[in-house]
Structures are given as structure tokens and as C-alpha cells.
Structure 1
Amino acid sequence: MRRLLSGLAVAVVAVIATAAPAAAHSDLEEASPGPGDDVAAGAASVHLVFGEGVADDDVNRVTLATAGGDAVAVGQPSVVDDGFGVCAATDALAPGEYVLDWRVMSEDGHPAQSRYSFEVTDAGSPVDAAACEGVDLAAPEAADDGFSVGTATIVGVGALALLVVVGLFVVRVRRDRRAA
């Protein structure tokens, strides 16, 4: 019985450890606006380029907020650059500091995500919008702060593991009582 419990405990730990999000498979290589950039007011799109292909999937997300936390409307990203980039339409950006969060699904099925900041000023450099021109971009929408798939998976696996451990404990206590 002790071997069974030890084996199950090792299996539960292995499942939980592998359920964590994978290391970034699609590292961000270029962005416009990019990390730390000072861009001109009025920019209305985001272009991100990755080192590996991005799946054309509805889980790809780009969210944008002011440094104060106010959400900026962003459209659903479209895959561009022969599958290595995404473009998303935004509301025209007014001067201020912004935080951009992105999450994409790699072609190999692994999610990658990160965030960075940039600034918009009247004297900033124009955003390189050429890669997003001619792409049918979804209209900007308010950000959804819902429960992410990754979080739901981790919580579900954790709950299942807890159920298994509690069940095994109950079985062991009952067997010990019968043996006594």
C-alpha cells in the first residue's frame, strides 16, 4: 500500500509540474511599437514578430493598457509575416505610457507570452505600420480580463490531484480501521 501511495504521489507531482506553461517557444524578436520605444501619438496598430511560427488561433491575444491600468481597445490579432508575426488594430494612442501584454500559440502548440512598456509622445517616432497595411484587422474591442486557459488548466489539474490524494487517504484510513 505504501508503494502505491508513493507511486501515486510521484505521478501527481509529475502531472502538476508538466502542466505549468511551457518556456517561450516563440520569442519576440521585433515589435512596433517595441519595448522602450518612444512613438508618435496617433499610432493605431501593433506589429509583433516572433522567432518561430505562430498558429493562426483565436487564443492569440494582444492587450494594451495605460500605465495607470486603463484598458485600451485592441482587435483580435491577425497572423502575418508568413506565420511569424501578428498585427492588431488599436484605438489611436494618445501621449502617455503604455503596457502591452501578448500571448500567442506557437505552431508546435506551446503558448508564449510576455509584456513590455513603451511611451507615446507628440515628438515620438512614427510606428512602422507597413507590415499591417492591407491586412484585414479586426476592429479594436475592450480587453477581456477573463480566466485564462492556462490558469484554468493548472487549477483543474491541482483540484484533481487534491481529490486523488484525499481519496487515497480515506481508503487507507478505512483499511487501517478494518485491520485493527
Structure 2
Amino acid sequence: MSPFSMLRMLGLAAILSGMVIVQASAAPALVHSEPMSGQHVAAGNVAVKLSFDTVIDPFRARLLLFGPSGAPQLLPASPTDDEQQSIATSVALAPGHYVLHWRMRARTGDPAQGTLPFDVDAITAPKPGSHP
């Protein structure tokens, strides 16, 4: 039997035996956030954006915001682009310390989660006679 025939038979046997090649998958990793961890932002409407290193399932994303009162607030978020590697939302926030808890899944189902602490500062009016 020639080497070519032997390879052909082995290939056919592999197909017939139901061998499946499993695609490697990984949990999404946060690569950028707005606000960034530890950042101070001005009170008011605060934009929140999370970007990941892989395609996420935006319909299984969960964002919980814990504010100064300690009560959790579920934030709705939407994909920001066709690649679906980012989600974004905005929320009106008063001054205080906040922690955003995020939970994501890759399209393959692999979960990831993390926390993002940040502070919201009061908007201060300029002092009379001062220059910006």
C-alpha cells in the first residue's frame, strides 16, 4: 500500500469515527474601561463603557452599580460596534464612591467578571475673579 493511500484511509477513518476538533476558547478579559478604575469623574450623566479582548454576548452581560447608599442598580447596556467587543451605557450619578460589578460571557459561553471602583465628584463653580 502506498503512503498516499495509507494517509487517505487514515483521514477517512478519522472522519468516520466522529473525531471533532474543538475550538479553543477563552473568557473575555477587560482591556479598557470608562471610567477607569480609581478615576474621579464629574457628577451628572456619566458614560460607562467596557471593552474586551474578544467578542462578548451582549445579551448575557450584567452591570450592577453599587453607589453611596449601598443599594445595587442594574444598568442596561448595549453593544457599541458590529464586532460586539464593547458595551456602553450612561447613568446620572450624584457625588460619592461607586463600584461597578460586571459579568460577561464570550460567545463560546466562557464567563468572566470583575469590579471597577470609581468616584464621582461634585461640580464646583469657579470662584469669582479666578481664571479657568
TM range (shorter): 0.5 to 0.7
Match of 1:48, as an amino acid? Answer: L
**1:62-73 maps to which residues of 2 (within 5 A)?**
62-72=63-73
| Unaligned stretches of 5+ residues in structure 1 | 1-23, 125-180
| Unaligned stretches of 5+ residues in structure 2 | 1-25, 125-132
Aligned residue for 2:45, secondary structure, equals coil
- Tell me, yes or no, if the aligned pair for 1:62 and 1:88 is still in contact at 8 Å: no
The answer to whether residue 71 in structure 2 is matched with residue 101 in structure 1 is no
- Tell me, yes or no, if the aligned pair for 1:50 and 1:84 is still in contact at 8 Å: yes
Partner of 1:31: 33
* Per-residue deviation, 1:73: 5.1
Cα distance in 2, alignment partners of residues 56 and 98 from structure 1: 23
Cα distance in 2, alignment partners of residues 94 and 67 from structure 1: 9
Cα distance in 1, alignment partners of residues 104 and 111 from structure 2: 6
Partner of 2:12: none
Partner of 2:43: 41
Higher strand share: 2
Larger Rg: 2
TM-score scaled to structure 1, two decimals? Answer: 0.49
Cα distance in 2, alignment partners of residues 89 and 41 from structure 1: 12
In structure 1, which of residues 43, 48, 53 is the aligned counterpart of residue 55 of structure 2?
A: 53
Aligned residue for 1:97, secondary structure, equals strand
**1:161-172 maps to which residues of 2 (within 5 A)?**
none
Superposed CA RMSD in Å reads 2.1
* Per-residue deviation, 1:88: 2.4
- Tell me, yes or no, if the aligned pair for 1:27 and 1:50 is still in contact at 8 Å: yes
* Per-residue deviation, 1:34: 1.7
Identity of aligned residues (%): 33
Cα distance in 1, alignment partners of residues 107 and 57 from structure 2: 5
Matched residues, number: 98
Runs of 4+ in structure 1 over 4 Å off: none
Aligned residue for 1:112, secondary structure, equals strand
TM-score scaled to structure 2, two decimals? Answer: 0.65
Higher helix share: 1
* Per-residue deviation, 1:105: 1.2
Choose 45-54 or 92-101, whichever is displaced more.
45-54
Partner of 1:80: 80
User: Closer, same or farther in 2 for the Cα pair 1:42/1:29, shift >3 Å?
Assistant: same
Cα distance in 2, alignment partners of residues 51 and 44 from structure 1: 23
User: Closer, same or farther in 2 for the Cα pair 1:43/1:33, shift >3 Å?
Assistant: farther
